[in-house]
Amino acid sequence: MELSSDFIKENEQFLKSCILYEVLQKKSIFKAYKNFCDTVGEDAMNYPDFEFWFHRFYHGCRDFNYDLSADQEPKTIVDERVVSMYYILYEVLQKKPIFDSYRNYCDTVGTDAMEYREFEFWYYRFYQGSRDFDFDRSADPEPKTIMDMPAKLMLKIVENLDPVERIFLRSMNHAIKTVADSFPPVFEKIEISVSNTSLQWKLNNQSFLCFKKGGGCEMYKPNSSRATKSEKCYMEKGIEHLALVLKMCNFQVNHFSLTLFHEVLNRDDFLSVPIKAKSAFILGQTMNKVVQFLSTIIPGHLESISLDGLYLIKREHYSMLFETDQFKQAKSVNFPRSMEFNVEDLVNFSHLETFKCHLKSENAFRDVPRIRDILTTFEILESCELDYHGIDGDYPIVEFAVILGEEIPIGLLAEGEHLTITHRYQIPESNECLEFKIIDKGYEFLVNIAKLR
């Protein structure tokens, strides 16, 4: 857009409106004057005059018609509607995108100062060179809304949105919510992390953050560097937004992750609806809390469970997990290193296709054959990984291999290579066999077992 220099130099009301707009944005006078000169030109107003009006507006006086040559009482501001038009024109002259301009306008004069459609009309009118601030819009046709869109087109648009985008669409009105809900939302992943100062979550690749700030909180949303402030507790505010997802009709997620650094969280306040997830990761400090949140995930649909943390766990708490329907109907489970199992505990895993656990042996000569014999009875087992160690915390790889009847390789290993011993055991009265890969990684001793058919 091009404006004649005469319009800029002769329209004092416009120039003063620009200065007031800079004041409202709480810029320093030097930064404001530089932006003013970059926008309307260095010869539009000298610094002493700019400084006079800047400080006058800064101290609350809105008398645009004050005569510097006379001592007079302050008058009221000129037509506020016209001043608003000048603000928009000033944004246009700075050549910013319309969305950035509108956001800055709302931050400066208030979110209720002007609706976007009204701002958009004047923005493009000024952008195209018009300077008719008194244009009468009463004869304008009734503006179209999204509800005037043909139903087929609406369905096509919603179909091409991802689940995260449909969340915001659902909050517009009941009619659009119905259209959005006609497409069951399926998320690739939902990751939630809770601490005593923040609540973070990720929906697919869109990240959200709500953290404690003074007596309230601040919240960051995707594609925005500006925080939304609230007087609410960070947990209350975060859960309020998460509920928009968790209470969606028939929503599903392939991978659900929950990290609990803050144990005070109440399950019913946080996850008050069942979650339909294929795999789940839960990190918690106590088994009681882990089982509480695991129980919100629909059993049967849940195939894979991975646990971490549980630093305060005791062996008598293991049964709490084993008794859940989620564990009983899972196909794969990864246990944390904090859960230490004995050989006799393996019988609890007979329904699993795969599992990973930390296994402690008090007597290798007794326990290694027992491990082999127990696993041969697992009909649907595909593979497992045992982080194996002896009673004193040692890693008796040689002892383990010798018991299985394997020889220990002699010779130096290449850089980065780990000592690996392979053993195959034919399952009696079967065409299947168990393949043991015993790997010495120095800091741990792994036994990878796979069933070969």
> For every one of its 453 residues, what pLDDT tens digit does the chain have, with 9 covering 90 and above?
445 556 666 788 888 888 888 888 888 888 888 989 888 888 888 888 888 888 888 877 877 776 655 544 444 445 677 788 888 888 888 888 898 888 888 888 887 788 888 888 888 888 888 777 777 776 676 766 766 777 787 788 777 777 777 776 776 667 777 777 777 788 899 999 999 899 999 999 889 999 999 989 999 988 777 888 999 999 889 988 888 788 776 788 999 999 988 766 666 777 777 889 999 999 988 898 899 999 999 999 999 999 998 777 888 899 999 999 999 999 999 999 899 999 999 999 999 999 999 998 888 889 999 999 999 999 999 999 999 887 665 556 777 888 888 887 776 777 777 788 899 999 988 899 999 998 887 767 899 999 998
Q: Would you list the DSSP string of 15-52?
A: HHHHHHHHHHTT--HHHHHHHHHHHH-TTSS-HHHHHH
Report the C-alpha gap between 419 and 436 in whole angstroms. Answer: 13
Report pLDDT for 68: 57
Instruction: Look up residue 372 and give its two tokens.
Output: 């082999």
**In the numeric block, which tokens belong to residue 272?**
């008050």
- Amino acid identity of residue 36, one-letter, is F
Give the pLDDT of residue 356: 97
- Of residues 37, 55, 38, 57, the one with CA closest to residue 46: 37
Give the predicted TM-score (pTM) of the model.
0.65
Alpha-carbon distance of 34 to 444, in angstroms, equals 64
Taking the C-alpha atoms of residue 133 and residue 84, their distance in angstroms, rounded to an integer, is 10
Provide the token pair at 271: 């996850």
Residues near 77 by Cβ (< 8 Å), separated by ≥ 6? 62, 63, 64, 83
Number of H helices, E strands in the chain: 17, 15
The predicted pLDDT at position 74 comes to 45
Residue 391: what pLDDT?
Answer: 66
Token pair for residue 34? 């530089």
**Side chain identity at residue 423, one-letter code:** H
Q: How far is CA 328 from CA 20, 142, 182, 303, 338, in A?
A: 68, 61, 33, 10, 21
Which pLDDT score, from 0 to 100, does residue 71 have?
Answer: 47
